[in-house]
Structure 1
Amino acid sequence: MPQAFDALCEYLRRHSGLVMDQSKKYLVESRVMPIIRRERLSGLDELVALLNKPQSAKIAKDVIEAMTINETYFFRDKAPFDQFRNVTLPALMAARQGEKRLRIWSAAASTGQEAYSLAMILDEFSPRLAGWKIEIVATDLSDQVLEKARKGIYSQFEVQRGLPAPMLLRHFNQIGESWQISDHIRSKVTFRQLNLLSDFTSLGRFDIIFCRNVLIYFDAARKADILARMTRVLAPDGFVTLGASESLIGLKTDLVSHPEQRGLFMRGSAADVQTPRFAPPRFEQQASPALPAGFGAAALAASSRARTFG
C-alpha cells in the first residue's frame, strides 16, 4: 500500500502538477475510493496499475478530477473582491479610456463562483462601462466542475456562503430548492477547460488575472513556471491576484507586490507607477425585498437597481 500511494502521488504530480505527500494520505484515499468502488477494483494497488494503461484514460481523468475539485464560494475571502472593486478595476478603467476594453482571467474557476462574483461587481459599474467590451475567461482542469459552472445552478447552502442577500435577489432565479444565476450574468463569463501546466498563450492577453488558492498545490519550480507564463500574458500595467496564503517568497518571478494591497501583484516594470484610485460607484438605495423563506444570510445594505454592462 505505501508503494501504491507513492506511485499515485507521482502520477498526480506528473499529470496535474499537484504535490501530495503522506500528510494528505487520507484526503487522497477518500477522493479516489469512490472510483475504486465504481470500477470494482481490489484497492489502491490495482488502481495505480491501471492508470498508465491507454485503455484506462477515462479512469485516469476521473482520478485527476477527483483530486482537483477545490472548495469555493461567492466572494471568497472578501478582500480580493474589495481590491477589484476599489483598486484594480478603477485603475484600469482610467488607463483604458481610449480602447474601452478589459479582459479578466479566473484561472482556477472551479464551479464558477469566483468568475460570477467578478461579473456581479462589474454590473455595479455598468453606467461607467457603457460601450466597453469586457471579457471574463474562466478556466479549470476539471470538466466536471466546469459543467456545473456553465449551468450556474447552486444549492441553498452554496448561495448562503458569501453571497450578499441583495445580490441573490437581483441576480438569481429560484428553481425549486436551488438558485440559477441570471442569463445576463452568465453571458459575461466564458468557461474553458485548461491545465495550468500546458501552454495557455492561446487565451490571449489579460488585464487582470485571479489565480487564487491553486498554486499552493504545486512545488516551487512549477509555481515559478506558471507565474512566469502568466506574466507573459499579462498587460504591462495589469494585476495578478493570488490567494491569502500564497506569496512569491523564494520564487524567481517578474511580479512584485503592490505597495499597499496584500495579495495583489504587478509586473516589476509597473511597480513605480502610481495606482490611480477613485471611489466605487454609489447608487440610490431602495428598500430590500423580503428574503425568500429559508434564506439565512443577514439582510445587508439595500439592493442597488439592476444594471447591465458591455
Structure 2
Amino acid sequence: MNESEFEFLRGFLKARSGLALPPEKRYLVESRLAPVCRNFQIADLAELIRSIRISRSLALESAVVDAMTTNETFFFRDKGPFDLFRDVLLPRYLTARTTTRQLRIWCAAASTGQEPYSLAMLLEDAVERTAGWKIDIVATDISTDVLNKAKAGLYNQFEVQRGLPIQLLLKHFTQVGDQWQISQKIRSRVSFQGLNLIKDFTALGIFDIIYCRNVLIYFDAATKSNVLARIANSLAADGSLILGAAETVLGLSDAFTPDPAHRGLYSKVFQAVETRPLSLQRATSR
C-alpha cells in the first residue's frame, strides 16, 4: 500500500464513519484489513483499495469500516459513569419525570452491548422504584456485526470476567456451552439499531440521558463539534450527557456545561441551533 492508497483509505474512512485515522496509525491498517482481504478473496491491500474505488460494493465498504472501527468495551466500564447513573441520574429523573413517568436513555456507539446492558441491570435492581414507568434504552452503533452480537447477548468467559460482578453474572446470565447469555428480561430492556453518528439521527427523538463515551476521540475537531451540536438537539432541556474520561466539550461546543461535582457529566445550557449532518453539509456545498 503506497502513500496515495493510504491517503485514499483515510479519506474513505472519514467520509463513511467520521474516523480520523492519523498517519502514525498506519500500522493498524494491515493487521485489521488483512482478514477482510481473506474473507473477500482479495490478494492484498492495494487490490482492496482498488476494489473500493471501482466496485462500490456496500458489503466490502461496510467490512472495511467495521474492521477499522475500535469496538473496545466491557461491562460497567470505568465504573464511575454507572455509579453516576445509579446514585445521581436515576434518582434525579425519577423525581423530575413524576408526571410523565417516562425516561429515555441513548447509548451511542454501544458496540457489543455491554454498556446498555449494564444500565439495564441497574434498572432491574431498581425495579420497585420504577414500577409503572416506561424506561427506554436505545443502543446504536455503525457496525452491523457488533449489533448482531449485542442483540444475541452472548459473551465468552473473558468478556463476562471484565467488570461484571460475579453476583450479577449468576443473577442475569445462563451458561450456553462455553459462553454466557444475558437473560431475556435484561435483553428486552434494550433496543438496538444501526446508526452512523455523522449522519442525521433526529428520528431517534429526544432523550433525557445520553451516553456517548469513547467515540469522539476518534473524530477530528470539526466532526466532534458537529456531532455534539446535534446531540444537544436530541437532549431534553434538563438532559444529561456523559462522555468518556478522555473526552470533553471544551473548545468544541457551547451547548453544554460540565458538572463540577461529576467528571464526564455535562448539562445542556441552551437549545443549540439545528445542525445538519456532515454528509448533508458536503452535499449542499458542492
In 2, are the aligned partners of 1:240 and 1:264 still within 8 Å (CA)?
A: yes
CA-to-partner distance for each residue in 1:210-232, whole Å, 9 max, x for gaps? 00000000011111111110110
Partner of 1:150: 151
Amino acid at match of 1:68: T
Aligned to 2:167: 166
Q: Which residue of 2 aligns with 1:44?
A: 45
1:191-212 CA-partner distances (Å, limit 9, x unpaired): 0000001111100110000000
Once the 2 structures are TM-superposed, how far is the Cα of residue 55 of structure 1 from its aligned partner?
A: 4.6
Provide, for residues 149-187 of structure 1, a one-character-per-residue CA deviation record: whole Å limited to 9, x for no partner. Answer: 000000011000000011001111111221100000000
Count of matched residue positions in the alignment of Structure 1 and Structure 2: 270
The structure whose Rg is larger is 1
CA-atom RMSD, angstroms? 1.3
Look up the match of 1:56: 57
**Residue 28, structure 1, aligned to residue 33, structure 2:** no
2:218 corresponds to: 217
Tell me if the contact between 1:36 and 1:47 (Cα under 8 Å) persists in the aligned partners.
yes
Counterpart of 1:134 in 2: which secondary structure? strand
Alignment of 1:192-231 (within 5 A): 192-231=193-232
Task: Give the conservation status (yes or no) of the 8 Å contact 1:224–1:253.
Answer: no
Q: Does 1:132 align with 2:133?
A: yes
SS in 2 for 1:53: helix
Distance in 2 between residues matched to 1:160 and 1:119, nearest whole Å: 18
Aligned to 1:304: none
| 1:70 paired to 2:89 | no
Q: Percent identity of the aligned residues?
A: 53
In the alignment, structure 1 residue 16 sits paired with structure 2 residue 25: no
Once the two structures are superposed, residues 223-271 of structure 1 have per-residue CA deviations (whole angstroms, 9 ceiling, x without a partner) of: 111111011010111100000100112213301101211100011159x
CA contact (8 A) 2:74 2:114 kept: yes
AA at the equivalent of 2:150: A
Structure 2 alignment gaps of length 5 or more: 272-286
Structure 2 distance, partners of 1:222, 1:120, is 33
TM-score by length of 2: 0.92
Per the alignment, residue 276 of structure 1 pairs with none
Q: Between Structure 1 and Structure 2, which shows a larger proportion of helix residues?
A: 2
Aligned AA (2:151): R
Give the distance between the partners of 1:223 and 1:210, measured in 2 at CA: 15
Tell me if the contact between 2:228 and 2:253 (Cα under 8 Å) persists in the aligned partners: no
Matched with 1:104 is 105
Comparing both chains, which one has the higher relative contact order based on Cα–Cα distances under 8 Å and sequence gaps of 6 or more?
1
Query: 1:80: Cα distance to partner?
Result: 0.6
- Return structure 1 stretches of 4+ with deviation > 6 angstroms: none
- Give 1:241's aligned amino acid: I
Q: Deviations over 1:47-101 (max 9, x none)?
A: 1111133452211110001112411000000011111111111111110111100
Unaligned runs of 5+ in 1: 271-310
Whole-angstrom distance in 2 between the partners of 1:221 and 1:26: 25
Q: Normalising by structure 1, what TM-score?
A: 0.85
> 2:129 aligns to what SS in structure 1?
coil
Once residues 260 and 70 of structure 2 are traced to their aligned partners in structure 1, the CA distance between those partners, rounded to angstroms, is 33
Between the aligned partners of 2:22 and 2:29, the Cα distance in structure 1 is 9
Check conservation: 1:209, 1:239, Cα contact below 8 A. yes
Q: In the alignment, is the contact (CA less than 8 A) between 2:36 and 2:64 conserved in 1?
A: yes
